[in-house]
Structure formats: C-alpha cells, structure tokens
Structure 1
Amino acid sequence: MANESEIVTNLLQRSFSRARSFGQDYYSLQSASSEIIPDRGEYLLKFYLGAPPIETLAIADTGSDLTWIQCKPCVCFDQKAPIFEPSRSSTYKQASCSSKVCTSLPRTSCNVSSNTCNYKVQYGDNSFSKGDIAMEKITLGSTAEEKVTLPSVVIGCGHLNQGTFGAGASGIVGLGGGEASLITQMGSSIQGKFSYCLVPYLGRMTKSSKMKFGDQAVVTGAGVATTPIVPNRPKTFYFLTLEGITVGNMKLNYYDTTFPSSSVNVSKAIQEGNIIIDSGTTLTYLSTELYYQVITALKSQMKSRPIRDPLGLLKLCFRSIARVNVPEITFHFKGADVKLKPINTFIETTRRSICLAFAPASIVSIFGNLAQANFLVGYDLEKKTVSFKPTDCSRS
C-alpha cells in the first residue's frame, strides 16, 4: 500500500504531466523549424508526410494556400523523389463531399460516384494540379530535440499535375493568408508568426537555411525595417505598399497613373497594397511605368554598354557582373526602406551575361524571392506586418 509521500508524489507527477499536455501543442509548434533548400530559383521546404513519415520537398509559396503533393496514381511532372502513395500511409484520410473541409474550401468539387472531394489549383504560368482533398499528418523539424507533428492537415493529393515545376519539388507548401494554408492551419499556436531566410541563387550553390514559426520567428535587432500588411482580397496574398524606388541617386515615385500628376499630390495618389510579397515567384514585377523608369535610371548610371539577353527573356542585360558597377537599388515600402544588393537585382542568365531581375507586371506587382535573398523576412499576421533584416542566410 502506498504511503502518503508516494501518493503526493504521484499526484504531483500527474498534475505536472497534465499541465504539460495542455501546453504541448503550443510549445512544440513554437519550436517548429524546417529546412529551406534553394533549387534553381525556387525554394523548397523540407517536411515529412504521413505514417511512416516520408521526407518531402515542396516549393515554399507565400502566394498560395493549399499544400499539395503529387500522388499515385499520377499523370505527373518529373520529380526526383518517389511519388507519394496514400495507400501506404496509415494516417491518410480522404475528405468526403459532405465534410466541412470540402464545403468550406474554395475551388473544390464533389465526385458523387466516389463521394470524394476534389480540387483544382491553377497558377499564373498555367501550371496546375488536380486531385483529392485529404487530411494527412505532417511532421516538421524543430529547434528542440523532437520533431513537431501536425496530426491532421488539409492537403491536396494531386493525380494530374502539369507545369514548370522543377524536378526537386514534389508539390507546393501553401503559406498564404487563406483558410487552407499551412500557416492558418497552425493557428494561434504560432501566434501568426513565421519567418524565412533565403540563400541567394548562385548557380549550383545549395546551402540551406531555416523557416521558423512562433516566437522564434520574430525579427529584431539593428537594421530591421517593418512595413504594414494591407488587408485586401484575395486573402491569400500579403499586400504591401510600395511608395517608390531609388536607383543610385535617382528617386522614382510610385503613383497611380489614373490620377493626373499635375492635379494631385504624389503621396496621396499612392494606392495602398499595390504590391504583393511572394516567396514562390523568382523575379520582381513592377508597374510598366515604374519598370521603365528603373531601366532608364540604370542605363544613365551604368557605364557598361547593354547587350541583348541571350535567352531573349529580360530587357536590360550586361556582360559579366565582375565588369559592371551596379548602383544600389532601394525599395521604399511604407515605413521601411529595403536596400537591395546586386544579388537581389541582377541574375546571371549565362556565364557571360547578367540581366536585371525585374519585369513589367501584367496585373499585379510582385516583390519576388531574388529580391528577398539574404534578408531575414518575418511575418506577424496578428500585428499585420512584414519585417526585413539584412542577414547572411547561408549562416542563419
């Protein structure tokens, strides 16, 4: 028979265990940290899918919501890793037509004959994925000893996938602001906070960096520049306000050309939320007028003679960056000046040519991932801010 001391000891141990279990999800997600691997202009997030857990690499995309991966049986784009087989995962659960997941998510449909919930997502370059909506376990890395498990995440299991995806990727991790995104599904446990640090695209260099969540994702210290996220639709995108760009010593104002510049103050003509920040887009896209102003400013300050892009894709190119003096380009976001280096603004298209990594926007302006390289970029969705801190991401 247990004595009083043993009873109290057991009582206290049960109490401590119970208290820890209440906070386990909160603290485990606070320690979540996943590897980001550069792959030819894309950035792949490493995670583990299903049970037994299968290592998976998918494009980290703040410009989309649904996380999807290629699944057997499949009409697929080429990928290096084996294609995921849902029948071999004990935690895979296909969503039915009547499930809340199916009825609440956009772009879903019902296959009545099989009572399965289907999805289709399409991207700006006409890449697309079609398949089944399901619930599956996702395991992330951690700054603590044990990995972090998300037991039931809404994903897309893609059976028909086509497009310009690199062979290193098995799909996309949706990090946008919509209901289906991984960030939204992680919920209040991460307090709307996540950050990443993208290693610059330097040919075959493959040093990885980290994506962090919760309190460890807060960006602080000297050199931090913070700008508001502007609420807008679709909720997927993180809209920022670009007020202008400085090229060397030339300040270029960003204004809405629907207002005559002679009749309205430039600062009043700036449209809030006129650019989105997107980790899944390589280039930076600017309004046509601002884009050509940037090109004119660069031509006037760079002594080298421009050449044609050997690939025929970009407008302003030069021979080898070693011979070119590139002026600093600063993006003036609302409340935040982000100074870009040549690795952010120019891309090597061949061994003998570099080109401005900007393009004219057809619909929406985009601050792409090349421009974000070597910055610690932190999102705080509760405060509705994005912060930038110059960082050597290869050492982060």
Structure 2
Amino acid sequence: MDTGSDLIWTTCCPCDNCSIQTPMFDPLQSSTNKSQSCFASSCKELPQYGCTSDQRCCFIYSYVDESFIEGILATETLLFDDGAGTIKFTGIVFGCVHRKLKFIKFSKDAEFSGKEEVQETPMAPGSTDYVLNLIGISIGNTRLNIQFGVAQMTPLLGDARSIVIDAGTMLTYLAKDVYDQVANAVANVINHECFYHLSKICCVTM
C-alpha cells in the first residue's frame, strides 16, 4: 500500500518475480475486467506507458526506493463490504501487474484484524494525494507552541498546515522552522544536545 501513489494495482497471473504466497488475480476469470487501450486518456496519464502488439496499455511504474512494477492497465468492478451490505464501484482503473522487483513482503503478523480501536480523521479536500491538516505536534506529553502559518506555502498543497501521507516515503519532512522546534524538543526530552551540521544531526549525551 502506497498512499503517495495515484495508481491502484494488484498482482495478476502470470507474475514474474512474485511470491508464490501472494494472492493472484486472474483477469481471464473475470467477466468485468477490461484492458485499456494505449490510446486511452487513462493510459496517457501514466509516467511511462506503451503499446502491446494488440494495442493494450502496458506501463512501468517506479518508486523512490528504486522498486518498480510492470503490467497492463485495465478497468474492473470492485466490491466492498461496509458492514451493512456490499458497495459496488464500476469502471475502476487499476494496474494488472505481471512483474515487480524489490518490494517488501509483509507477514501475516502485519494483518489488521478490524477488531482494534481505530481513530479516524477526515482528509483535506482539493487534492488527489492523501492530505491532512496538521494542527499540532506533541513530544511526550508536551504540546509544542508551533505557528504553522509561518511555514512556507506550497503550490501543491496551498495551506501551510497541509501534510501528505505517503506510505512509500521512509522519512517525515517538515518545514525548517517547525523541524527546528521538534528537534530541540526531542533533544530536551532525551537529555541530549543537538548540533546541526549540513544535512546531519548529531546528538551527544550531556
């Protein structure tokens, strides 16, 4: 799951370099699956796409960790159980992946049972990304006095409080003035002194 990506995809039969334990979707067994033409607008919106010999949309989709997938773009009808019944979404564009490299495999221990207590927060409107409005940061039990209005406005997000939830990014990025306050608060909590040197942070015991 990568919340920073616009492409929905799943592994399909056959799939090269895919774990044999990974559930495979067989498009030939679905009456609602339809491959997209390489001339379709949905295909042309992909960063890297091409045409197969039968004019289907093939694509390569890469990520910042240098992993990538290859597959065929298609549409499908998706069914979701909301607890009260089944919700049907038709014509959902997704990638039918037949090759993937360098992806993390998660064990059954990572599965969500649905019985845990879950807190929800609404997404900010007006973006294709998963955007939240950051209203505060706490270190331990202390709420930091951060003025988010000082943070630089961005053309992509607009609101200076906006943050993108990207499960495909290993680091959390903050505006420098916000980051400085967080780093100093962490240093105080762990009784360390922080020295900023270029792109590195060194903490030494006091």
TM range (shorter): 0.5 to 0.7
Q: What is the letter of the counterpart of residue 63 of structure 1? A: G
Distance 1:290 1:120, change over 3 A: same
Aligned to 2:124: 229
Tell me the percent identity.
28
> Residue 229 of structure 1 contacts residue 273 of structure 1 at CA under 8 Å; is this kept in 2?
no
Shift of 1:115: 0.7
Shift of 1:302: 3.6
Cα distance in structure 1, aligned partners of 2:125 and 2:202: 31
Select 1:153's aligned residue among 92, 114, 129.
92
Q: Would you say 1:208 and 2:113 are equivalent positions? A: yes
Aligned to 1:165: 104
Q: Which stretches in structure 2 are left out of the alignment for 5+ residues? A: 194-200
Cα distance in structure 2, aligned partners of 1:143 and 1:63: 27
Shift of 1:157: 0.7
RMSD over aligned Cα, in angstroms? 3.8
Aligned to 1:122: 62
Could you state the TM-score of these two structures normalised by the residue count of structure 1? Answer: 0.38
Distance 1:166 1:85, change over 3 A: same
Aligned to 1:297: 185
Spell out structure 1 runs of 4+ moving beyond 6 A: none
> Residue 52 of structure 2 contacts residue 58 of structure 2 at CA under 8 Å; is this kept in 1?
no
Distance 1:268 1:206, change over 3 A: closer
Q: Which stretches in structure 1 are left out of the alignment for 5+ residues? A: 1-58, 170-203, 211-218, 220-224, 255-266, 307-313, 317-396
Shift of 1:129: 1.5
SS at match of 1:84: coil
Distance 1:239 1:117, change over 3 A: same
Aligned to 2:23: 82
> Residue 102 of structure 1 contacts residue 108 of structure 1 at CA under 8 Å; is this kept in 2?
no
Could you state the TM-score of these two structures normalised by the residue count of structure 2? Answer: 0.66
Cα distance in structure 2, aligned partners of 1:63 and 1:273: 18
Aligned to 1:251: 145
Cα distance in structure 1, aligned partners of 2:184 and 2:68: 36
Select 1:280's aligned residue among 163, 167, 176.
167
Distance 1:291 1:268, change over 3 A: closer
Write the deviation string for residues 69-88 of structure 1: whole angstroms up to 9, x where unpaired: 11223223436333222223
Cα distance in structure 1, aligned partners of 2:56 and 2:46: 15
Larger Rg over CA atoms:
1
Shift of 1:117: 0.8
Q: What is the letter of the counterpart of residue 92 of structure 2? A: V
Write the deviation string for residues 231-276 of structure 1: whole angstroms up to 9, x where unpaired: 5xxx43244555764542653455xxxxxxxxxxxx4554244543
SS at match of 2:28: helix
Cα distance in structure 2, aligned partners of 1:273 and 1:77: 40
> Residue 151 of structure 2 contacts residue 177 of structure 2 at CA under 8 Å; is this kept in 1?
no
Shift of 1:140: 1.2
Cα distance in structure 2, aligned partners of 1:250 and 1:142: 38
Name the structure where helix makes up a greater proportion of residues.
1
The aligned runs of 1:13-162 (5 Å cut-off) are 59=1, 61-78=2-19, 80-103=21-44, 105-107=45-47, 109-111=49-51, 113-144=53-84, 146-162=85-101
Cα distance in structure 2, aligned partners of 1:253 and 1:151: 44
Distance 1:249 1:62, change over 3 A: closer
Provide the aligned length of Structure 1 versus Structure 2: 184
